[in-house]
Structure 1
Amino acid sequence: MISLEQLSKVYQSKGKTVIGVDDVSLDINKGEIFGVVGYSGAGKSTLLRCMNILERPTEGKVMVDGIDLMTLNSRDLRKARQSIGMIFQGFHLAMAKTVLENVAFALKASGVNRQERKRRAQELLELVGLSDKADQYPAQLSGGQKQRVSIARALANDPKVLLCDEATSALDPNTTQSILKLLKRINRELGLTIVLITHEMEVVKEICDRCAVMEDGKIVEQGSTYEIFADPENELTKRFIQTVIDFRIPEKVLSERKGTIVHMTFKGDSANESVVSDLLQGYSIRANILHGKIDYIQDQALGTFVMELTGERKVVQQAIQDLREKLGEVEVLQDDRSTDQSLARAE
């Protein structure tokens, strides 16, 4: 649906060259929800605006539904943009127009007659759950309701693609969840391809099929959302994931523990099975859970556990080896300290 080939955007500012997007190639499939995550200044919003040529790339190719937008003249580009809806963090509503008029305005620009504009606008307001707010003004709405109006307006011309630029960052957590559920429902019911720009990994976890992580204008990692969470490679990606799935144990707690501390990751079916208890029954060691959590990403379970294992050193090491063979993801955070302290006392 969307294909970016060696895309770059370079600005000249006060005699200096600023690279907004740096040689990005990306394919977004029809009907999926694709997330682009990064900190402020990473280039993600610039990348999004290049997808509909609101920012004209310095180099590269932008293909949307088989059309190279970079080759279109102004008239054909305006027509092509009708199939690409866009919503923003700041809503961008006309404060002097009613909710219904805000939604209908996009249809007026497309030459739709007044009666059809009203019918279509009412239909879209019902879709986003605001049919009872048609005659109100944006100032009378909550932030979440304003964003719903923005979504309805973006859908007015039956787009094939919906670009979302930090669409939930100005909203509280509960409202964010409701907007994400709405976007997911729109994606499912309308078959809409959605590209979501965000700095919140929790948003990516909740809604995205695949995602990419950006830093300094480049994509540093991309893949299915589940695999990105289950097996991140880039250090920036790992930091983002820690904001959602954090298994770090306070140093004070670790210093009070004498056994071997291990961090285990359970993927897929293993997250719902009694892998550890079944395996450790065959060993004369004790296991104490210090942290445990199971998340569901794309309807797949991803578990993370931190445990203290105590017992004879050789037996503990053999148990860890068997866990690695079973799970693959076992990291020793702290080795057995009881033996070391016993040796220190003996000396």
Structure 2
Amino acid sequence: MIEIHNLSKVYNTKKGQVKGVDDVSISILEGEIFGIVGYSGAGKSSLLRCINLLERPTTGQITVNGTDLTSLKGERLRLARLKIGMIFQHFYLISQKTVFENVSFSLKAAKFPANKMKERVEELLEMVGLADKRDVYPSQLSGGQKQRVAIARALANNPAVLLCDEATSALDPTTTKSILRLLKKINDELNITIVLITHEMNVVKEICNRMAIMQDGRVIEQGSVYDIFASPETDLTKEFIESVVSFDVPDIILHRCDGPIVKVTFKGEVAGEGVISDTLQQFNVKGNFLHGSIEYIQEMPLGIFIMELRGQEKEVQSALQYIKERAAQVEVVRDGL
């Protein structure tokens, strides 16, 4: 669906050239929700704007549905962009126009048949849950409602791709969840490919299938959301995940432990099984649970537990081996004192 090959974007500034995007390659599948995560200045928004050529890449190639956008100009590029909707953090609604007029504006710009305009706008407002707000002005809407208008406007011309640039960053947590549910509904019902830029791992965890982590203009890690949460490879990725799932054990608790401390990760169906309880029954060891939970990512369980094992060294090692054979990952956080 979307193929990004060796893409770079260089900006000329008073202080010289700055690379906003640095040799990025990503494949985004048709019908998936793909998250691009990074802190401010990581290059994620620059990358997103390159996808529909709001910013033309310095080097590299963007292919959408088999069409090389970087080779298009003028009218051909304008027509290609009609199939790529975009929503932003700050909505960008026209304050002097009603909800109906804001959505119809996109249709008029695309020369949509005038006799079908009313029906299409009403269909879109029904889809985003704003059928009763058609004659209201943006100033009378909440932040979540404004974003729903922006989503309806982005969907007006039946795009195959929806680009979301920090679409929930200006919203409170409850409203964020409702917007994410709407995006998931749109993805499920219309099979629209969604590319979602965010710095919030909760957003990615909620609806994305796969993701990429960006730092200093480069992609430093990418893969399925589940696998990245289960086995993050870079320090930055671990930092992002810890903002959602924290497993810090206070030092005062650690000082009370004299046995080895292990972090155990269970993936898939195994996460719900009693591997730890079976271990404690089969071996002459005692387990002191320090932290743990089961997270659900794309409705799949991911279990992470931190525990101290106490007992004779031989029994502890046998117990660890038993757990390693059944868990996705076992990390000895600290050897016994």
Q: Output the CA distance in 1 between the equivalents of 2:115 and 2:105.
A: 13
CA–CA distance in 2 between the matches of 1:191 and 1:45? 23
Mapped contact 1:269–1:301 kept (Cα < 8 A) = yes
Measure, in 1, the Cα distance between the counterparts of 2:309 and 2:32: 43
Does 286-295 or 150-159 show the bigger shift? 286-295
Measured in 2, the distance between the counterparts of 1:305 and 1:19 equals: 41
User: Alignment identity in percent?
Assistant: 60
Deviation string, structure 1 residues 59-103 (Cα, Å, up to 9, x no partner): 111111111111112111111110000000000100110011101
Q: Displacement, 1:246?
A: 1.5
Paired residue type of 2:181: K
Deviation at 1:313, TM superposition (A): 2.7
Larger radius of gyration: 1
TM-score by length of 1: 0.95
Say whether 1:329 aligns with 2:298: no
The answer to whether structure 1 residue 39 and structure 2 residue 34 are counterparts is no
Runs (5+) with no aligned partner, structure 1 = 338-347
CA–CA separation in structure 2 for the residues paired with 1:15 and 1:336: 53
Answering whether residue 228 of structure 2 is matched by residue 231 of structure 1, we say: no
Q: Which residue of structure 2 lines up, in the alignment, with residue 221 of structure 1?
A: 221
The aligned residue for residue 243 of structure 2 is 243
The answer on whether the counterparts of 2:10 and 2:18 sit within 8 Å (CA) in structure 1 is yes
**Alpha-carbon separation, structure 2, partners of 1:260 and 1:70:** 56
CA distance in 1, matches of 2:134, 2:288: 57
Offset, 1:111: 1.2
Instruction: Look up the equivalent residue of 2:63 and give its one-letter code.
Output: M
Alignment of 1:111-150 (within 5 A): 111-150=111-150
SS in 2 for 1:6: strand
The DSSP-based 3-state class of the residue aligned with 1:315 is helix
Decide whether the 8 Å contact of 2:267 with 2:328 is kept in 1. Answer: no
Shift of 1:33: 0.5
Distance, in Å, in 2 between the alignment partners of 1:329 and 1:27 is: 28
1: CA distance, partners of 2:20 / 2:55: 10
Instruction: State the superposition RMSD in angstroms.
Output: 1.1
1:132-159 C-alpha deviation (Å, 9 max, x unpaired): 1111111111111100000000000000
The answer to whether the Cα contact below 8 Å between 2:98 and 2:134 also exists between their aligned partners in 1 is yes
Residue 67 of structure 1 corresponds to 67
Structure 1 residues 195-219: Cα deviation after superposition (integer angstroms, max 9, x where no partner)? 0000011111111111001011111
8 Å contact 1:85–1:161 — kept in the other structure?
A: yes
Q: Which moved more, 1:204-213 or 1:233-242?
A: 233-242
Q: What are the within-5 Å matches in structure 2 for residues 57-206 of structure 1?
A: 57-206=57-206
Structure 2 Cα separation of the partners of residues 45 and 245 of structure 1: 25
Count of matched residue positions in the alignment of Structure 1 and Structure 2:
337
* Matched residue type, 1:278: D
| TM-aligned CA deviation for residue 15 of structure 1 | 4.1
Letter paired with 1:95? S
Secondary structure of the residue aligned to 1:40 is: coil
What TM-score do the two structures reach when normalised by structure 2?
Answer: 0.98
Counterpart residue identity of residue 128, structure 2: V
* Unaligned residue ranges in structure 2 (runs of 5+): none
Write the distance in 2 (CA, Å) between the matches of 1:284 and 1:6: 55
**Counterpart-to-counterpart distance in 1, 2:11 and 2:331:** 44
**Measured at CA, do residues 15 and 335 of structure 1 come closer, stay the same or move farther in structure 2, by a change above 3 Å?**
closer
User: Counterpart in 1 of 2:277?
Assistant: 277
Give the structure 2 partner of residue 208 of structure 1.
208
Give the whole-Å Cα distance in 2 for the aligned partners of 1:110 and 1:325.
59
